Amino acid sequence: MSTPNAKLDRIAFETSRLLEFCSLKELTAQIGHDPDEWPLVALKELFDNALDACEEADVQPEIAVTVDDEGITVTDNGPGIPADTVEGVLDYSVRTSSREAYVSPTRGAQGNALKTILAMPHALDGSHGQVDVYAHGQRHEIVFGVDHLRQEPVLTRTIHEAENVKNGTSIKVWWPVSACSILTEAKPRFLQLASDYTFLNPHMSLSVDWFGEQTTTPATTGTWAKWSPSEPTSPHWYGPEEFGRLVSAKIAHGQDHGTDQSVREFIKEFRGLTGTAKQKQVLEDTGLTRTNLSELANGHGLEHDVLAKLLASLKTHSKPVKPAALGIIGKAHIQTRFEQLGCEMDSFQYRKVAEVDEDGLPAVIETAFAWRGDKCTEPRRLITGVNFSPGIGNPFRTLGKDYGDGLSAMLADRYASSDEPIIFLLHLAHPRVRYTDRGKSALVIK
């Protein structure tokens, strides 16, 4: 007589989701772009961070890009990334961002951009990856590996002296030899993306070294200003959803750090509400005097009626931001850049619209056009961007029912198809932009 098989007592194993940053497939989902565009992603994220850092420190940006046999290096002249910020980026169990919950016309708010860049070399190589961060006289050598038993990333940071790096930040992404073809094939788009930044940022000087091919583009002005990433946001930019997200983030941050911000302290963070008299008016309107933010939560949710009353009062006692305050690139700068590309300047056209949209939000739209002449053999060049950051792809692919397939279709309807030797620039400055995809490559446009 046979003995019955013993019953298997199945264990519910726990597997870390942090491995999402380690494979090509999962990291592609995180980034929102295929690996052949990762050189562009690295350039864009490092550029955005560098420009924001310089603007927050009120420093005219000087950005240098070097691409060589070792990889991609982006260097700025900002205040230098703090060591504790570098350490915080290594924690893949949390999402860290100083932008994500706020509504403002900033270049980006992905929240895990540096984390994805640290993971890129490993995902491309399959076994090893390295990124070096230079700042404040130190080189942070970050090696990315994987604990295959626990299925989670393992990052090792070694700090070396780097006495020649006193100012600014330099980040070097060591590009794997096994993926060198991706970098080589990305050259035309990579160089154009770097160049596009000089069209959208008049105050920025750029130097590029691509395997010894060097170009320099000086800034056209040292006095240009735009909305700084460190400026207070306006309550007029928030709807109920955005305001609730900000309050939730504030409360959660307080719980994690053992603090509880008062409503008065919260109010004074908004543009136009730093004065004690206006703070008092808001508190009296809402009945929130001597109230902390945590009291606006109800169990695991928020007191939405109270939040609606608070947001309405914040708007009542502050003035809307005028569109021009977001920043205007300007005709003179764009004209200079077009001329540097050899355009027939008698064909140059520039248009600017600075207005308040149907949601009551300020917006600035700038467009420019020029023909490059009969002798030009290059196809149409589009320079498109949002909040002074160019898109990896054309973010204006959906311009509404009147324009069919988007910007390209609109241009084709006007005899400016993809094979025409023209340059067309389209830029939008707006405090509340929405995208259709995770890679932020296509805007939601009404």
In whole angstroms, give the CA distance from residue 396 to residue 407.
Answer: 6
Q: How far is CA 114 from CA 85, 172, 274, 305, 327, in A?
A: 11, 12, 33, 37, 26
Note the pLDDT tens digit of each residue in 59-87: 999 999 999 999 999 999 999 999 998 88
Cβ-based neighbours of 147, under 8 Å, separated by 6 or more: 153, 154
> CA 352, CA 359: separation in Å to the nearest integer?
20
Q: In which band, very low, low, confident or very high, does the pLDDT at 276 lie, cut at 50, 70 and 90? A: very high
> Tell me, what's the pLDDT at 3?
56
pTM beyond 0.85, yes or no: yes
Tally of residues, the chain:
446
At 402 the pLDDT is 46
pLDDT digit string, tens, across residues 113-148: 788 899 999 999 988 899 999 999 999 999 998 877
The reply to whether 325-429 shares the fold of 17-217 is no
- The full set of domain ranges for the chain reads 17-217, 235-316, 325-429
- Please write the tens of the pLDDT for every residue from 358-379: 889 999 999 999 988 877 777 7
Q: Model confidence at 24, in pLDDT bands (50, 70, 90)? A: confident
> What is the predicted pLDDT for the residue at 319?
95
What span, in angstroms and rounded, lies between the C-alpha atoms of 146 and 152? 6
Distance CA 363, CA 324 (A): 8
Q: What is the CA radius of gyration of the chain?
A: 24
Is residue 323 a contact partner of residue 362, using CB atoms and an 8 Å limit? Answer: yes
Over the chain, what is the mean pLDDT? 86
Quick one: tokens of 233?
A: 């946001």
| Range 3-31 average pLDDT | 66
- Chain centroid to Cα 405, Å, comes to 25
CATH number, domain 325-429: 3.30.230.10
- Angle between helices 113-125 and 38-56 in degrees, nearest 10: 150
CATH topology for 17-217 is Heat Shock Protein 90 (3.30.565)
For residue 344, give both structure tokens.
Answer: 């027939």
pLDDT surpassing 50 at residue 13: no
Rounded to 5 degrees, φ, ψ at 436 are -85, -15
DSSP E strands: which ranges in 35-126? 62-67, 71-75
Q: Measure Cα distances from 259 to 20, 50, 223, 244, 279 in Å.
A: 32, 31, 40, 19, 21
Structure confidence by residue, pLDDT tens digits, 301-355? 899 999 999 999 999 999 999 999 999 999 999 999 999 999 999 999 999 999 9
Residue 345: strand, helix, or coil: strand
Residue keyed to tokens 């942090």 = 18
Helix-strand-coil split of the chain, %, nearest 5: 35, 25, 40
Closest CA to 388 of 230, 227, 220: 227
Residue 401 clears pLDDT 60, i.e. is over it: no
pLDDT top residue among 3 and 71: 71
Q: What does the pLDDT read at residue 90?
A: 83
Residue 416 is predicted with a pLDDT of 66
Is the alpha carbon torsion for 24, 25, 26, 27 positive or negative?
positive
